Chain A
């Protein structure tokens, strides 16, 4: 379709004139729109599909309990198809078109950074329910996932005690991997260890042979992995095929959240250590009931639940709690309610929003993989987002909308 400049100007100005009428999120009556943008196809769907299922369950649960403020909540689910461009497009659509009360989603840090400014501009509450590298300091963005000071800081000393002090790092080559590798190096150094090498991999690399040879040459006591996506799963296969998994154990900040442990064989994964805020074996009645409802909903096809999917459920619930507390879906009351020390008891345990960072104080669990199941070794209750708190103070400065670790930790003043 050819669109002349004149048609474009006429069209957009008509939209601009009409937009005051469109603004103000659907008041009174009607359904409340809850938008979720996730990758349900393309390379990242191994993460997105379970997150979407958990989000659907959350909305079902909210509606089963009578909805919010007597109104039904409607889920608008967008498939960003592992494309950053679609994220921006759908974020605008959700905020300006659907006038959603809140937008949840984004999986990679790159996708979060693509939509975070858009949603701040439209003042549409944004929840990023993924574990990530920390450092987002945004009045409008609630980051409910775990961050390195909560997880990496636990798994590194534990593993160094168990395996030894020399570490080799492999990570995905985009902002998450680069920053998480810096956190790993920092925690290794703080615990008296030594990093022998760091390697980054573009997301479509499937041959890890040269790196495995380099790891054999460096002879570390363990490998720390921050690899991401479907192609990178082949690292664990090739590592095992070269006979390495028995000699040099792996600890990961990403393995398991794409249910990788179900995709490779038991022998290939045995002994791997990981720390997240949730594993299926977390023992509490809320989790038991949650898994039963998930089973009832999806039957034999239910994907394994991990931090990403459970936090997608809990993120929706945190927002719902705030709406109930505020008695409104308007921006300011809900924002204030979210930042009032709001707590919610979810499948992963107690979650409390920290108003200084808009991050979440949460339980952290360290687990070891055996026979495709993560067995819990340690639980650390109520861990604060100490990394982001080093740089971010939204109480003193409630208009910030920054990603402090964009240029690495050194640029953010962290040694």
Chain B
């Protein structure tokens, strides 16, 4: 019984982890069909914000929950103004430009902080014991934060004026523009918000995975696959993609080992995209957010 609970929580954490690293990318992709290949580096920047500010004496919770999204959100807005807005509608060009941005960010961070960084912040919150099993309390906290974050994005999209304008722009940018919505501004805000969510995720993961200039590379592939498998709906897509891929990865990791877990995840994504080229939400939950 204890084992079932422990495995269940680990599965849930695996799913939450995928959702957390993918949500920011999904917001940007869902809204403007821009695949941000510097997404991994936005996560990395969130992590560095936490490490640098805690080393400077800032409380770890303030650093993770406030500073990381704030700093990366601002960086996101700057990037959108300087780079992305010139490339809307040119998908391949944005891929190249954001890839270049990712290399630039890795280079800048490496030259400032060096190749390896002492992120000696330990995950707070201690250990939760379930019989003979133990799970880090911080991982449970991350599951809760991910749920809250998804809820917050849903509330924003569903009930605020910004959400209404954003959904309108998403469905038909030209019509929204004709009705007087400044799509330009909506894009900027969404990109900033997507970046902020990514920064938050990177900040939250910093204590448990550590930060390196190149850590983004370990996230980008999985985030990318999750978002593409999920399809264009921001929330339903991220959630469905994370549950499916994270669940399969977790189950196969338990049954055989991490290598097969990764293989199973990739194989599922390939088969899924063969059958549903527009992702899960291209076929199911089409009207969802």
Which residues of A pack against B, CB within 8 Å?
40-43, 45-46, 48-49, 82, 173, 199-202, 204-207, 209-211, 213-214, 216-217, 219, 230-231, 233-234, 237-238, 240-244, 258-259, 262-268, 301
Q: Cβ of A264 and Cβ of B212 under 8 Å apart?
A: no
Q: Do B122 and A207 touch across chains, with their CB atoms under 8 A apart?
A: no
B255 to chain A, nearest CB (A): 10
| Complex contacts, B3 vs chain A, CB 8 Å | 213, 217
Docked-complex contact B138 and A210, CB < 8 angstroms: no
B115 close to A (CB within 8 Å): yes
Answer yes or no: B136 CB below 8 A from chain A CBs.
yes
Take A210-B14, A238-B208, A244-B134 as given contacts and tell me if A49 and B262 are in contact as well, using a CB distance cutoff of 8 Å: no
Contact with A along B43-69 (1 / 0, CB 8 A): 000000000000000000000000000
B259 touches A173 (CB 8 A): yes
Contacts of A49 in B (CB 8 A): 114-116
Interchain CB contact under 8 A, B134 and A242: yes
Q: Is B133 an interface residue (CB 8 A)?
A: yes
In the complex, which of the residues A173, A217, A219 has the most CB atoms of chain B within 10 Å of its own CB atom? A217
The distance in angstroms between the C-alpha atoms of A92 and B183, with both chains bound, is: 53
On whether A216 and B17 interact (CB within 8 A), knowing A41-B110, A209-B135, the answer reads no
A263-B117 Cα distance, complex, nearest whole Å: 6
- Which of A42, A46, A48, A263 has a CB less than 8 Å from the CB of B120? A263
Cβ contact within 8 Å between A207 and B214: no
Q: A43 contacts which chain B residues (CB < 8 A)?
A: 212, 214, 217
Tell whether B148 is near chain A: CB-to-CB under 8 Å. Answer: no
Enumerate B219-271 residues with CB–CB distance to A below 8 Å: 219, 221, 250, 253-254, 257-259, 261-262
Q: Shortest Cβ distance from B111 into chain A, in angstroms?
A: 10
| Contact of B250 with A204 in the complex, beta carbons under 8 Å | no
Across-interface contacts of A45 in B (CB, < 8 A): 110, 115-116, 214
In contact, A240 and B115 (Cβ under 8 angstroms): no
Main secondary structure of the interface of B (DSSP, over half): helix
Contact B217 A201 (CB under 8 A): no
Verify if B76 is at the interface (C-beta below 8 Å from A).
no
How far is it, in angstroms, between the C-alpha of A238 and the C-alpha of B206 when the chains are bound? 12
Complex CA distance for A238 and B123, rounded to whole angstroms: 8
Do residues B116 and A237 form an inter-chain contact, with CB atoms below 8 A? no
Docked Cα-Cα span, A216 to B133, in Å, equals 6
Q: Mark B14-52, 1 if CB is under 8 A from A, else 0.
A: 100100000000000000000000000000000000000
Q: Are A202 and B208 in contact (CB under 8 A)?
A: no
Cβ A204 vs Cβ B254 within 8 A:
no
- Is B169 on the interface with A (CB-CB < 8 A)? no
A267 to B126, CA, bound (A): 12
Q: B residues near A, CB below 8 A?
A: 3, 6-7, 10, 13-14, 17, 106-107, 110, 114-123, 126-127, 129, 132-136, 138-139, 205, 207-210, 212, 214-215, 217-219, 221, 250, 253-254, 257-259, 261-262
B258 touches A201 (CB 8 A): yes
Q: How far does the alpha carbon of A186 sit from the alpha carbon of B236 in the complex, in Å? A: 50
Chain A residues near B120 (CB-CB < 8 A): 263-266
Residues A209 and B10 in contact, CB atoms below 8 Å apart: yes
20 contacts between A and B (CB under 8 A): A41-B106, A45-B115, A49-B116, A201-B258, A202-B258, A206-B218, A207-B13, A209-B13, A210-B7, A210-B10, A210-B258, A216-B133, A216-B134, A233-B210, A237-B123, A241-B127, A243-B126, A243-B127, A243-B129, A244-B134
In Å, the complex CA distance between A173 and B261 comes to: 13
**Closest Cβ neighbor of A234 among chain B residues:** B209
CA distance A262 to B118 in the complex (A): 6
Known: A214-B254, A237-B122, A240-B122. 19 other contacts (CB 8 A): A41-B106, A41-B214, A43-B212, A46-B212, A49-B114, A200-B258, A202-B259, A206-B205, A206-B219, A217-B133, A230-B212, A230-B215, A234-B209, A241-B127, A241-B208, A259-B116, A262-B116, A263-B116, A265-B122
A237 touches B210 (CB 8 A): yes
Which residue of the partner chain A has the closest CB to B137?
A: A241
Chain A residue with Cβ nearest B120 = A265
**In-complex Cβ contact of B210 among A204, A217, A263, A266 (8 A):** A263
Q: Which residue of A is nearest B122, CB measured?
A: A265
Q: Are B138 and A241 in contact (CB under 8 A)?
A: yes
* Chain A residues positioned under 8 Å from B116 (CB to CB): 45-46, 49, 230, 258-259, 262-263
Contact A213 B259 (CB under 8 A): no
Given A42-B214, A234-B208, are A241 and B115 also a contact pair (CB < 8 Å)? no
List chain B residues, Cβ under 8 A from A48: 115
Instruction: Enumerate chain B residues within 8 angstroms of A233, measured Cβ to Cβ.
Output: 210
- With a cutoff of 8 Å between Cβ atoms, the chain B residues found around residue A242 in the complex are 127, 134-136
Please give, as numbers and ranges, the residues of chain B lying within 8 Å of A259 by CB-CB distance: 116
Known: A200-B258, A214-B254, A263-B119. A231 touches B215 (CB 8 A): yes
Known: A45-B116, A216-B133. A268 touches B122 (CB 8 A): yes
Residue of A nearest to B212 (CB): A230
Chain A nearest CB from B149 CB (Å) reads: 18
Contact (Cβ within 8 A) B14 A209: yes
B136 touches A241 (CB 8 A): yes
Residue of A nearest to B18 (CB): A207
Contacts of B214 in A (CB 8 A): 41-43, 45, 82, 230
Task: Write out the residue numbers on chain A whose beta carbons fall within 8 Å of the beta carbon of B139.
Answer: 209, 238, 241
- How far is A298 from B135 in the complex, measured between Cα atoms in Å? 41
What is the CA–CA distance of A49 and B208 in the complex, to the nearest angstrom? 24
Chain A: minimal CB distance from B54 (Å): 12
Q: Are B208 and A267 in contact (CB under 8 A)?
A: no
A211, B136: Cβ atoms closer than 8 Å = no
A residues less than 8 Å from B129 (CB atoms)? 243
Give the complex CA separation of A192 and B126 in angstroms: 36
Known A45-B116, A204-B218, A241-B122: A210·B262 in contact at CB below 8 Å: no
Q: Collect the chain A residues with CB atoms within 8 Å of residue B212's CB.
A: 43, 46, 230
Interchain CB contact under 8 A, A243 and B122: no
A214-B132 Cα distance, complex, nearest whole Å: 12
Contact residues in B for A237 (Cβ distance below 8 Å): 122-123, 207-210
